[in-house]
Structure 1
Amino acid sequence: MSLIDKVTQSIYIDGEWLKVDEAHSDIIYNPAILEPLTTISAGGEAETKKAISAAHRAFKSWGSMSGRKRSRILYKAHELMLADAERLGEILTMEQGKPLKEAIGEVKGAAGFLLWYAEEASRSYGEWLPSSVRSKRMIVMPQPVGVVGAITPWNFPSSMITRKLGPALAAGCTVVLKPAPETPLSAIEIVKIFEQAGMPPGVVNLVTGDAEAIGQEMLSNKHVRHITFTGSTAVGKYLMRESADQVKKLSLELGGHAPIIIFEDADLDKAVSLSLASKFRNNGQTCICANRVYVHESVAETFQTKLQKQVETLKVGNGLEEDTDLGPLINAQAKDKVQTHLDDAMQKGADIVCGGDTAEQPDSYFMSPTVLAGVTDDMRIMREETFGPIMPIQIFSDEQAVIEKANDTDYGLAAYFFTENTSRAIRVSEALDYGIIGVNDVFPAVPEAPFGGVKQSGTGKEGGHHGMDEFLEKKLVSLGIES
């Protein structure tokens, strides 16, 4: 029996799965073997409008439900997701390409967001404000925003969904979900889990298909009060412009160009292993992975030698194979971009330390993990987000100068550095202009902590109690009383 059916129902509105219309359908491919996985519905404006209407109707009862009742459903969904993590991981690997061990880890992490927000659902506290006027009493009352349009990316097709839907649902909002066109299957499975957990009809709705048409209906429909999006900065700017007429709330987690700084007092073995893990996790297709590596001149040779030895052991292949470390890139466009960055660096004088070739067959989406030395600031790889398995290394000698280089970008999502000096840890953390700082750590995304960038890397936070605040309005109730 096949893990995935030939035809998969992918539009879920008001508690009902719609049949796939052959005239309006999309084929989903496995990027590792370039073969079809299944056919899904290609929805558009009409389906999105119906989904928004269903979410709007469901909001009155879901939003007024006690946090404790919402918590039970989210907790049940968490349990179901954990119990099915291996199967869900296989589906994720087949549609996205990442190694199975990474995929199962992502599914378990996604379940963790449901657990965290199951716990937070009962904790949307209000305030009683001391009044400066004797005849007034003032209450700040938190209330859910309303219908949320959630637009999620292909690089983390499970965890990005629960990181958005967990807090939205815990706060009392209803949701219309649009997953990435490349990876809808994980979204379908998560919605099935919500359904199995007892989610009332209309609270969670799913529309796959025409990204532009679905997004435009979310932007123009007055019932959508909040849009949460993870993706490129260019699309984030578009959402900001198009939502301005209705002044919708926005949570935007956009592009990154993360630096990693290796200071002379760093634990080099830790710095090497974690820098490698950051850069090559998900084949470099993460918004917070290491894009620029700055190494102090006194340890540069040792760092590079240790790094090369570890990178050369990495295996590229089908994510379902047990010993695979890097899967394919998501599609041909992604591979072309990475190759363009590599070609530009080589033309401008960079040296290949290891890798640099196209792995496997040339018409595949595989690329070898690559380390570059001798990179300069005019290279595209040092100015733009690569989203692929290339690690450029630049040598520095001065702390203040390297901080200025690290900050010299329009992005501000994540930055990392390695040091064993406590004073430097505080000093550099304060100086780096990023929303997330990792000190001897490259895995900052956990359910209990806020995640989000500054500058052109977005607005708003996901994770922690901060993530639920994004989906709550604070209403002031001013009571006039007889004094």
Structure 2
Amino acid sequence: MATAYDTSLGLYIAGTWRTGEGRDTHAVLNPATGETLAQLPLATAADLDEALAAADRGFKAWRATAPDARAAMLQKTAALLRERADRIARIATTEQGKILAEAKGEVAFAAALLDFHAGEALRIYGRVLPRPAGTRSLVLQQPVGPVAAFCAWNFPVMNVVRKIAPALAAGCSIIIKPSEETAGSAVEVLRCFQDAGLPGDVAQCVFGVPDMVSRQLLASPVTRKLSFTGSVPVGKHLAALAADTMMKTTMELGGHGPVLVFDDCDLEKTLDTLVAHKFRNAGQVCVAPTRFHVQDGIYDAFAAGFAARTKALAVGDGMDAASQMGPMANPRRPDAIAGLVDDALSAGARLLAGGERQTSGNGFFYQPTVLADVPLTARAMNDEPFGPVALLRPFATVDDAIEQANRLPFGLAAYCFTENGRRQNLLGDAIEAGMVAINGVRLSFPDSPFGGMKDSGHGSEDGPEGVQAHLVTKTVHMS
């Protein structure tokens, strides 16, 4: 059953939806077919000024709102997301490409994030310091102020909720700029907040030319925090803009997830787990396992098993229940992946599976691909592929594996598979990544921090740390 895509996309500013009215537009595409789904209006400078003014008003009111009222609004929004989950998931699949089962899981996780942050709204504590009788020193945690948030297209529902929920829990207002390529999902999320009763000045949603929007929002004295999810180069650019006003920043940037597979792992279980996770969302996941470093003794068996499982994957429209991997999200991605694969092959890598665009009408498909013996000089071993490509290399010792895991400037996610408990402890300590999964692949939970180190950014989303990132510390001394 197909759900018609809602073409009434718009900007949400000061509690009202703004549509065409002479604004420039951006075509939102269906990546499975290449067809245009809707025309999205783009914000003007005047729209952004109005959003900033609304966020300023909204912060003054929202920070004074009782924590239990903030929590109730977040819980009601979560209930609306669950009530509308099927419709929202279908919109996400239609405009982003991931298979419907993944989109439904994404909506469910977004609702869980809202519930968790509702609880955190009630747990923003300070402390009283010991002082002589008749005097007090108080440490207070207060909302930082209006937030400018920018998020990527790969998780069009979750990314939006991940930005808004902690800001609102902390007492901040927010202006969010989701991806123009997945605008329909973001619009549906904002409608849930609106229908839950969130005052219109508290959350604004704008779309537009990224450089223009970011420069205007980050130059404004209204904005007191930047939260960004996206590529390393863009993140560094935005951080430089944010430095001009010394605003607080949370930067969730790219990764190049190493996977260390040791010869004592449960090989068949490890392969089943990793192949499914590698090609989730066509590999367009910042924490995707990417560089597979496999111990010598099981390397050939691992490579053969990985390739066989990859060749068996059904690729097609994400709305088709038979599909196990959908298209890439936009027409740029297959070209980028083809360039990386060609470069790796010319450098001496062996092709074990895939390696070509997959023809399916005008959709943006690329075959799930496995490359073995990939030289470290290949671009794919150094630049984040962000696509359905698995890169395999052998290693000999634990030290070799750790060296390879830490070789790049990225430090977002890493994965290790070994049954040796002492080795598990060592790897957890030695690997330079904000998140490490051992004998598993899940890294996102509402109550645990999500973020990286090195070029993969700083600060955390989710967990109590995500709310803390929207607070400032004030000390009050009373005599």
* TM-score, normalized by the shorter chain, greater than 0.5: yes
Q: How many residues align?
A: 478
* Aligned pairs (5 A) from 1:275-294: 275-294=274-293
User: Residue 338 of structure 2 contacts residue 355 of structure 2 at CA under 8 Å; is this kept in 1?
Assistant: no
Task: Give the direction of change, closer, same or farther, for the CA distance of 1:382–1:2 in structure 2 (3 Å limit).
Answer: closer
User: Residue 357 of structure 1 contacts residue 367 of structure 1 at CA under 8 Å; is this kept in 2?
Assistant: yes
Comparing 109-118 with 17-26, which one deviates more in the overlay?
A: 17-26
1:155 maps to 154
Deviation at 1:377, TM superposition (A): 0.8
Quick one: distance in 1 between partners of 2:22 and 2:307?
A: 50
Unaligned runs of 5+ in 2: none
* Aligned pairs (5 A) from 1:224-373: 224-361=223-360, 364-373=363-372
Quick one: distance in 2 between partners of 1:164 and 1:302?
A: 42
Deviation at 1:9, TM superposition (A): 3.5
Quick one: distance in 1 between partners of 2:262 and 2:5?
A: 48
1:190 maps to 189
Deviation at 1:361, TM superposition (A): 4.5
1:99 maps to 99
Deviation at 1:278, TM superposition (A): 2.3
Runs of 4+ in structure 1 off by over 3 angstroms are: 133-136, 361-364
Deviation at 1:364, TM superposition (A): 3.7
1:3 maps to 4
Deviation at 1:357, TM superposition (A): 2.0
Deviations 1:125-148 (A, max 9, x none): 1111224x6674211111111101
Task: Give the direction of change, closer, same or farther, for the CA distance of 1:352–1:9 in structure 2 (3 Å limit).
Answer: closer
Secondary structure in 2 aligned to 1:434? coil
Aligned partner of 1:121: which letter?
A
* Aligned pairs (5 A) from 1:45-64: 45-64=45-64
Secondary structure in 2 aligned to 1:119? helix
Taking structure 1 as the reference length, what is the TM-score of the superposition? 0.97
Q: Given the alignment of the two structures, is residue 35 of structure 1 paired with residue 35 of structure 2, yes or no?
A: yes
2:19 maps to 19
User: Residue 175 of structure 2 contacts residue 204 of structure 2 at CA under 8 Å; is this kept in 1?
Assistant: yes
Aligned partner of 2:328: which letter?
L
* Aligned pairs (5 A) from 1:214-233: 214-233=213-232
1:381 maps to 380
Quick one: distance in 2 between partners of 1:448 and 1:270?
A: 27
User: Residue 74 of structure 2 contacts residue 115 of structure 2 at CA under 8 Å; is this kept in 1?
Assistant: yes
Aligned partner of 1:4: which letter?
Y
1:168 maps to 167
2:466 maps to 467
Secondary structure in 2 aligned to 1:294? strand
User: Residue 251 of structure 1 contacts residue 459 of structure 1 at CA under 8 Å; is this kept in 2?
Assistant: yes
Aligned partner of 2:434: which letter?
G
Deviations 1:416-471 (A, max 9, x none): 10011111111111000111000011111111100100001001000110100000
Deviation at 1:369, TM superposition (A): 0.5
Q: Given the alignment of the two structures, is residue 73 of structure 1 paired with residue 69 of structure 2, yes or no?
A: no
Quick one: distance in 1 between partners of 2:24 and 2:352?
A: 48
Quick one: distance in 2 between partners of 1:456 and 1:464?
A: 22
Deviation at 1:368, TM superposition (A): 0.6
Deviations 1:40-95 (A, max 9, x none): 21113221111111011111121011110000000000011011111100000111
Quick one: distance in 2 between partners of 1:389 and 1:451?
A: 23
Comparing 18-27 with 182-191, which one deviates more in the overlay?
A: 18-27
Deviations 1:315-349 (A, max 9, x none): 11111111111111122221111111100111011
Quick one: distance in 1 between partners of 2:21 and 2:212?
A: 17
Aligned partner of 1:290: which letter?
P
Aligned partner of 1:466: which letter?
E
Quick one: distance in 1 between partners of 2:181 and 2:199?
A: 28
Deviation at 1:4, TM superposition (A): 2.3
Comparing 227-236 with 135-144, which one deviates more in the overlay?
A: 135-144
User: Residue 9 of structure 2 contacts residue 184 of structure 2 at CA under 8 Å; is this kept in 1?
Assistant: no
Secondary structure in 1 aligned to 2:297? coil
Quick one: distance in 2 between partners of 1:362 and 1:349?
A: 32
User: Residue 293 of structure 2 contacts residue 394 of structure 2 at CA under 8 Å; is this kept in 1?
Assistant: yes
User: Residue 435 of structure 1 contacts residue 454 of structure 1 at CA under 8 Å; is this kept in 2?
Assistant: yes
Taking structure 2 as the reference length, what is the TM-score of the superposition? 0.97
Q: Given the alignment of the two structures, is residue 391 of structure 1 paired with residue 390 of structure 2, yes or no?
A: yes
Aligned partner of 2:110: which letter?
A
Aligned partner of 1:425: which letter?
Q
Quick one: distance in 2 between partners of 1:314 and 1:22?
A: 45
Deviation at 1:2, TM superposition (A): 6.4
Deviations 1:138-188 (A, max 9, x none): 111111111011111000111111111111000000011101111111110
Aligned partner of 1:317: which letter?
G
User: Residue 44 of structure 1 contacts residue 213 of structure 1 at CA under 8 Å; is this kept in 2?
Assistant: no
Secondary structure in 2 aligned to 1:184? helix
Secondary structure in 1 aligned to 2:449? coil
Deviation at 1:23, TM superposition (A): 4.6
User: Residue 33 of structure 2 contacts residue 361 of structure 2 at CA under 8 Å; is this kept in 1?
Assistant: no
Deviation at 1:21, TM superposition (A): 2.4
Aligned partner of 2:209: which letter?
D
Secondary structure in 2 aligned to 1:26? strand
Deviation at 1:362, TM superposition (A): 8.5
Q: Given the alignment of the two structures, is residue 89 of structure 1 paired with residue 86 of structure 2, yes or no?
A: no
User: Residue 181 of structure 1 contacts residue 211 of structure 1 at CA under 8 Å; is this kept in 2?
Assistant: no
Quick one: distance in 1 between partners of 2:166 and 2:422?
A: 36
1:139 maps to 138
Secondary structure in 2 aligned to 1:246? coil
Q: Given the alignment of the two structures, is residue 44 of structure 1 paired with residue 44 of structure 2, yes or no?
A: yes
User: Residue 23 of structure 2 contacts residue 41 of structure 2 at CA under 8 Å; is this kept in 1?
Assistant: no
Quick one: distance in 1 between partners of 2:295 and 2:349?
A: 18
User: Residue 125 of structure 1 contacts residue 142 of structure 1 at CA under 8 Å; is this kept in 2?
Assistant: yes
Aligned partner of 2:448: which letter?
A
Secondary structure in 2 aligned to 1:264? coil
Aligned partner of 1:374: which letter?
D
Deviation at 1:277, TM superposition (A): 2.2
User: Residue 181 of structure 1 contacts residue 209 of structure 1 at CA under 8 Å; is this kept in 2?
Assistant: yes
* Aligned pairs (5 A) from 1:190-209: 190-209=189-208
1:120 maps to 120
Aligned partner of 2:313: which letter?
L
Aligned partner of 1:65: which letter?
T
